[in-house]
Amino acid sequence: MRQYFGAAILGFFVLYLYFEGSIQAYSSHPVIFGFLILLMLLTTLSIGLVFNRIEKASHSYPLFGKEALIDFLSVFLGAILTFFLSVYLEVNAVLASGLIGTLAAIFSKPYAVAIFCGSFLGMSSPEVFDVFPFFVATVLASSIYVTAKDVFNGFGGKLGTIALSGCFIATLIHSEPLLEGSLYGFEYSLLIIATAFLGAVISNLLNIRFSQGAVFSSSGMTLAIVMFGASFVGMSNRKVLGNEALVGLTGVVFGVLFVVTAHALGGLGDKLGTLALSSVLAIYGAYFLYTHFPKGVETHE
């Protein structure tokens, strides 16, 4: 039952992000609006496929047990360390997350994924969270991680969506206002999309071709926020995005979503991961339809 609950939480926030982007595009970009609606439908299909496969999935551990507790504490630790580096030592938030992720991959590999998930939460802005609301968000995200551990595996951006879920629920509990994002011009939007394409492909090459591992490959992408976020797309495995062409296409979708949702959910960690998961699910759904669409019947004369 917990797997369904975890999948529902992540699926809700993915679709919520599409909803925010669609509202922004409705009046000013009708073509983009139609594109987003198509992506949302494809994403909904993918979420349905994830739900359908839950019964067939092998479950890694019981909800209340030693391993679940270790994962909970690992997420909690990653969040606290990253927030401390970012807020109190004034390290750039992206760099702080990358540093914690890299150190976890080197020195604590069995728990690196959970720690890296927590590091995304630690990227939250202190303008949104003071200490106690951040503590609540960390507890929520750690709980969601344990609940959703067995779903959306292999989909890049899952960890960031877990972090954003905890943050968003905490802002509702404490009535914390979110930050307003920026709107981008056409030329700069194209630059963002190109950067996202490169970030996704490079991360995937490191992850798959050079066997550096998903956490390590993403942690190194700290030159720009867009590339860092798009690198989460590259964390997807080959069962989800089968080749570099699909990864690159997903990176383009990430760039588009980044532009149209720039106004939404400002200050929360990690919106970037949610953008990545949204993009991956859309392309996964499209590829599923392509591979299962009837190709026609051959005739022999």
For the chain, the farthest-separated pair of C-alpha atoms sits apart, in whole angstroms, at 77
Across residues 129-156, what is the average pLDDT?
91
Please report where in the chains the tokens 């391993």 appear, as a residue: 67
pLDDT at position 136, please?
A: 93
Across residues 130-151, what is the average pLDDT?
92
> Could you give the number of structural domains in the chain?
1
pLDDT at position 138, please?
A: 94
Between 197 and 74, where is the model more confident?
A: 74
Across residues 88-108, what is the average pLDDT?
87
Asked if residue 300 belongs to a domain, the reply is no
Host domain of residue 108: 2-291
Mean per-residue pLDDT over the chain, rounded: 84
3-state secondary structure of 83: helix
Radius of gyration of the chain (CA): 18
**Are residues 178 and 268 in contact, defined by beta-carbon separation less than 8 angstroms?**
yes
Asked if residue 253 belongs to a domain, the reply is yes
Asked if residue 273 belongs to a domain, the reply is yes
Please report where in the chains the tokens 């995304």 appear, as a residue: 120
Asked if residue 298 belongs to a domain, the reply is no
Mean pLDDT is lowest, of 33-37, 110-114, 176-180, for: 176-180
pLDDT band at 201; cut points 50, 70, 90: confident
Within 8 A by CB and 6+ apart from 250, the residues are 200, 233, 236, 241, 279, 280, 282, 283
Mean pLDDT is lowest, of 39-53, 152-166, 194-208, for: 194-208
Residue 61 has what DSSP assignment? S
Asked if residue 257 belongs to a domain, the reply is yes
Between 188 and 105, where is the model more confident?
A: 105
